[in-house]
Chains A and B, each alone.
Chain A
Amino acid sequence: MAVVAFSAAETPATPRATSRRHAIRRFKFSLLAPLIALFAFVLVPVLLLQLYFSFHQWTVYLGSWWDADYVGLDTFKDVLTDPRFGRAILRSLAFATGSTVGCFVFGFALAYLMYHPFRGQAFYYIIFILPMLTVPVVVAYTAEMMLYQSGPINDLISRLSGIEFKAAWLSNPDLALTTVSLLEIWNWTPFTFIIMLAGLAAIPKEPIEAAEILGASKWRIFWEVQLPLLRPVILLALVLRFLEAMAEFPKTWALFQGGPGSATETLPVYIFITTWQYFDISKGAAMSYIVMLLMIVIVLGAIQLLRREKRSLDKMYAQLEDPKEA
């Protein structure tokens, strides 16, 4: 709902109008100046440096970085033929997809159970958003305190099920990525929950009431009335969560450092290890560049989608405020 209030173009070209137009232009520029300065002094130099290192061979063991050898596309070739890099991409995609779906299923289910007012709603709401308000590193260390083999989680599962349960959440390579995904789901289900709750609260009542009068079952109302109306919010929740999960670093790193073996070596972790443990700055930079391009493609797609869905959301809110606008 962007409203342009003071349009300079419509005024006739009298000297006063011209000076007013200049004043507006100055005003507009000074609002933007900090952003431009930030780009010029932080973002642009950093991106240029990254480009430099991708095309020059340098590790911290070599001399000064500014006389590093130009190697052209060799580093990129090195990265693209590195099977570890390919596995890291797959792992990241699997982790992001799995945890996004998990967060969505739980978050949506909880929101659906909660959007009608009931006794104790505020209490459940507060408990449900707490995991999101826990510092990610704290989540990692709490997980370590709970998930070791003779720890409380295995003990509780054994007691509840009556079967001796001894999962090696932290040391079994086949289980480690699942463990991090479960942590991510625990940590961020509140995100989907609050977004879906806000979405459910905002959908107009009339179509649902009309369907109820026509005798539609709850199930049909959900699939044929509520779900289509919720589409923008659903896509928003999925897209934002997926992108955040692709970037997840603190929990994976603090808990596993990529291990056991390389079971939790997602893209951020592999880049981190290459750069800060092998000190292979060039390879890290080339890898970063490829990941950045990959993410730009994904993000541009996501933005396209978000733009479309935001428009339908804005329309929905406008209708809620003023039903005549429909």
Chain B
Amino acid sequence: MAMTKSKRRRITAIIRYAVLSVWAVIAFFPIYWIISTSFKLDTQWFAWPPYYFPSPPTLANYLNVWFGAEEYAQTQYAISSQKPLISLYNSMVIAATSTTLSVLLGSMIAYGVSRYRILSEVRMFQLLMLRMIPPIVVVAPLSLYYTAVGLIDTRFGLILVYFLTTLPYAVWMTKSFIDEVPLEVEQAAEILGASRWRTVFEIVLPLIRSGLVATFLFILILTWSEYLLALIITKTQVTTLPIELSKYQGSTEGRVYGRQAALAVGITVPLMIVGLIIRKHLARGFSFGMVRR
């Protein structure tokens, strides 16, 4: 029973599509579920049997959570504060500042390593320890130290630790881009009398700008979703969105799934957009530039 080659190929293709589609459903269903819950009325949040589609869809969760719209706050599920908007602002400021710092100074170090070998290969790998040792082992002394120097519960305090923990990614990722720039350009600039700093800022960094943007967005993903350090360092004054979301998990409020979902969708969607923009660079980012495409 010899199958023709084209027939066998078609069977392989069908199997491939079947397997991939099964995983696509597994990967997407939870995301679908949280999006659909965010549009459900409060009677459908944990009804039996479960509602697989919001019927009818409502914007009440969004209006209540994000804008504190009281008319949607039925007594039991009332969430009437504008806190999420403040947290959104904090998250944006903290993520943008720490990421900018990290990419800017990280690329300086990367340039030094690539062209002047300011860090040996071993040191470069030791730098990775900043990322590979679980942050939980330093959070208690960090919080006491921050209390002592007045950085606890401040945006700057969080910016500083995010800068420190994302620096290995920034250095390694930008270095992988700088390594790809041919040396001749810089040697030409040197002969023409450009200073070293000018060479860096006006020649090398502009040449790798798409790489810098990718690095920036990649690190933005990490800082935007960080949880543990934000939980420890920020208490009341400054909260980021992941911490704001976890506050809705109180036993006092009961299960406010729809509201939580509306908040969660608002946190995750920007992240997904950013991630999809740099989807070609994600492998390079997560592997510290070791794997390239």
Contact of A247 among B105, B109, B136, B271 (CB under 8 A): B136
Nearest CB in chain B: distance from A107 CB, A: 10
Chain B contact patch, size range: 35 or more
Q: Are B121 and A307 in contact (CB under 8 A)?
A: yes
Q: Are A150 and B141 in contact (CB under 8 A)?
A: no
Q: Are A155 and B50 in contact (CB under 8 A)?
A: yes
Docked Cα-Cα span, A53 to B269, in Å, equals 42
Grouping DSSP codes into helix (H, G, I), strand (E, B) and loop, the B interface class, with mixed when no group exceeds half, is helix
Q: Are B286 and A240 in contact (CB under 8 A)?
A: yes
Q: Are A194 and B196 in contact (CB under 8 A)?
A: no
Q: A38-B163, A129-B279 are in contact. Are A137 and B245 (CB under 8 A)?
A: yes
Q: Are B116 and A285 in contact (CB under 8 A)?
A: no
Contact of B291 among A130, A150, A233, A254 (CB under 8 A): A233
* Interface 9-mer from A76-84, A167-175, A221-229, A290-298: A290-298
User: Which residues of the other chain, B, contact A43 by a CB distance below 8 angstroms?
Assistant: 164
* Interface 9-mer from B56-64, B82-90, B124-132, B205-213: B124-132
Tell me the B residues contacting A by CB distance below 8 Å: 13, 16-17, 19-20, 23-24, 26-28, 30-31, 33-34, 37, 45-46, 48-50, 52, 105, 108-109, 111-119, 121-122, 125-126, 128-129, 132-142, 144-145, 160-161, 163-164, 167, 179, 183, 186-187, 190, 196-197, 221, 224-225, 227-228, 232, 241-242, 245-246, 249, 257, 260-261, 264, 267-268, 271-272, 274-276, 279, 282-284, 286-287, 290-293
Tell me the A residues contacting B by CB distance below 8 Å: 1-6, 23-24, 27-28, 31-32, 34-35, 38, 42-43, 45-47, 49-50, 53, 65, 106, 109-110, 113-114, 118, 120, 124-139, 141-143, 145-146, 148, 150-152, 155, 186, 189-191, 194-195, 197-199, 201-202, 233, 236-237, 240, 243, 246-247, 249-250, 253-254, 267-268, 271-272, 275-276, 281, 284-285, 288-289, 291-292, 295-296, 299, 302-303, 306-307, 309-310, 313, 317
